[in-house]
Structure 1
């Protein structure tokens, strides 16, 4: 099968696309994959680094003032023309769009050339590119039931995020775990707020963590920009501060996580069944992390603290409630697992084969 994948802008769009590509190649080594994304965003480096062919486009979102929108429409037309040529040359069996504004002209060109179009919506709020392309898409994969309200059920299936499959297939690395100074015998709280960390969260952590019991160990991923500030903030030897951690390698031993509520994070913590305190980023499109978090809160998998309400006392109260109650942790664990789509990649690939025929 020849697969054209469009994705870009953020890791939330890019890493699920890469996960699906990896699964497709694992199923059938003869699979041919071509990625298209922005020529000047992270995908332009990240995707070739994973060994996949990549074509870059110049595109921008329909945001800002009228001049920016006119520019975006003009760039989309140019991108459509370029992609139309790429589609004719590559001759894909199917095109899959993972969102980000760059995916819209790619899906349009694929549809124009009578190539089956599948969209993947990672979040609980449908993104602008997927909204635009939904009317002509042949199939739409969802990760949240909430999206049925907007996209209906005729050509949608709730199959989940391929990153959940990656998480489920991962192997716990005991040597790496111990190299972080962690004990195999103590409960672990993992705190991670993204690659750069969050200054506001770090400030609240200083207050909250100083009150934690000594029998609970905490791995605090401060982010690179905050590491020098945070590494000496805690005298408690059970609190380990690092600037980065390979999360997947240690998730099996995490008893509770404090994190953002991006699509990839949500996919991974549900796959592992990890009770969570979610602090959604308020700086993302359509406030989608809040809505992602709310779904998990409503299903009794997690607690949520909005960043505007965040303080050390509130964080300490919620963390203590989870860590001091093993029955509650087990209930949250089971509820998380019920919302994990660990077979997402295989299920999506099966549907793709149905569409190709």
Structure 2
């Protein structure tokens, strides 16, 4: 296979966008050992670290999310215009063969530049709903690979839609394969566990309310282990909110071995990002989901509703709960902690939503576009 194939994977800003890109990159490299892959994103330190630690090159491009006020609007226009010009230059200099857009504001400029230059492009839409920009672009690219089939009506009617699921980190796939061999033996052989997961950046709402929830449930959770990921810069204030007289609570800023932990967890309390839910599905963990209320197009609530309808999670609406959020969380967690059979049923429903072959499916579609459907790929 020629080494002339140059692939740009565009997106970033959060690990939830970067992790699927890394999984796709690994799947592509397994099929095309000589392919050259460049990540283009915001250049945030964690994003850059994750990409380079995985063995890929990273290029930072100017990008700004949708503005919330007039002052932000100026930077939104100027930064994204610069990002578009930088992306067009980068694609030309790289002699790019294919662009994979991971979604989110960090990928928009590169995808637009690729479409403008006639470069084959694949979009990854992780969520159950999408915005106008993705809908517009979806009719101009070769394929849209979706994490939720429910997003199809929000895409262009002429888009080629392939429902692949959202790729998870390789460690989740490895743990999933081990689980298939071992079943539930490990989960049932140790103390029950709750994990509070707000993402690598934390979730201030969960950091604020979950210590009170755990305090209220001190009797019901006396035999449970609580692990709370707070996010960078929020560890001390969150830790101070928890009772100081228990060894059953562990607060950490970031969990490196998250896959191993979640496969031995009984309840997760978390947001509803596409990557988070895809990884929970592989782990088969019942979840209390608190969608981020300010997510664009309210996509986290749409994601959560799909999982709730499948019986895999319960949903707490932060806006609707208002001042009663602690009460709502306490009630939902109390019910799940006391009902082992319900957790078992939710675990099976969670795994029914898993897509362990998502990265391979996306890589296969990319290879078809790059080399044709009759291409013989490396094993």
Q: Which moved more, 1:302-311 or 1:205-214?
A: 205-214
1:91 corresponds to 2:95: yes
Q: Report the Cα distance in structure 2 between the residues aligned to 1:78 and 1:222, rounded to whole angstroms.
A: 34
User: Which residue in 1 is equivalent to 2:225?
Assistant: 217
1:200 corresponds to 2:208: yes
| Kept after mapping to 1: 8 A contact 2:13/2:44 | no
Q: Report the Cα distance in structure 1 between the residues aligned to 2:95 and 2:55, rounded to whole angstroms.
A: 20
| Kept after mapping to 2: 8 A contact 1:276/1:302 | yes
The CA deviation string for residues 130-187 of structure 1, in whole angstroms up to 9 with x for no partner, is 23422211100111122111114850111111116651224899xxxxxxxx995222
User: Which residue in 2 is equivalent to 1:187?
Assistant: 192
Cα distance, 1:113 vs. partner? Answer: 2.9
- Unmatched 5+ residue regions in structure 1? 174-181
1:227 corresponds to 2:232: no
Of 167, 184, 193 in structure 1, the residue corresponding to residue 172 of structure 2 is: 167
Cα distance, 1:268 vs. partner? Answer: 0.6
Of 146, 152, 156 in structure 1, the residue corresponding to residue 150 of structure 2 is: 146
User: Which residue in 2 is equivalent to 1:289?
Assistant: 300
Q: Report the Cα distance in structure 1 between the residues aligned to 2:286 and 2:21, rounded to whole angstroms.
A: 26
Q: Report the Cα distance in structure 2 between the residues aligned to 1:86 and 1:162, rounded to whole angstroms.
A: 26
Count of aligned pairs = 349
1:32 corresponds to 2:32: no
Mapping for residues 294-333 of structure 1, pairs under 5 Å = 294-308=305-319, 309=321, 310-333=324-347
Of 233, 236, 240 in structure 1, the residue corresponding to residue 250 of structure 2 is: 240
Q: Report the Cα distance in structure 1 between the residues aligned to 2:298 and 2:361, rounded to whole angstroms.
A: 28
User: Which residue in 2 is equivalent to 1:176?
Assistant: none
TM-score, length-scaled by structure 2: 0.81
Could you say if the C-alpha distance between residues 128 and 212 of structure 1 is closer, same or farther in structure 2, counting changes exceeding 3 Å? farther
Cα distance, 1:218 vs. partner? Answer: 2.5
> 1:120 aligns to what SS in structure 2?
strand
TM-score, length-scaled by structure 1: 0.86
Cα distance, 1:66 vs. partner? Answer: 6.1
Of 335, 347, 351 in structure 2, the residue corresponding to residue 337 of structure 1 is: 351
User: Which residue in 2 is equivalent to 1:177?
Assistant: none
Q: Report the Cα distance in structure 2 between the residues aligned to 1:263 and 1:112, rounded to whole angstroms.
A: 28
Cα distance, 1:234 vs. partner? Answer: 4.9
> 1:163 aligns to what SS in structure 2?
coil
Cα distance, 1:337 vs. partner? Answer: 0.9
> 1:119 aligns to what SS in structure 2?
strand
Q: Report the Cα distance in structure 2 between the residues aligned to 1:76 and 1:311, rounded to whole angstroms.
A: 37
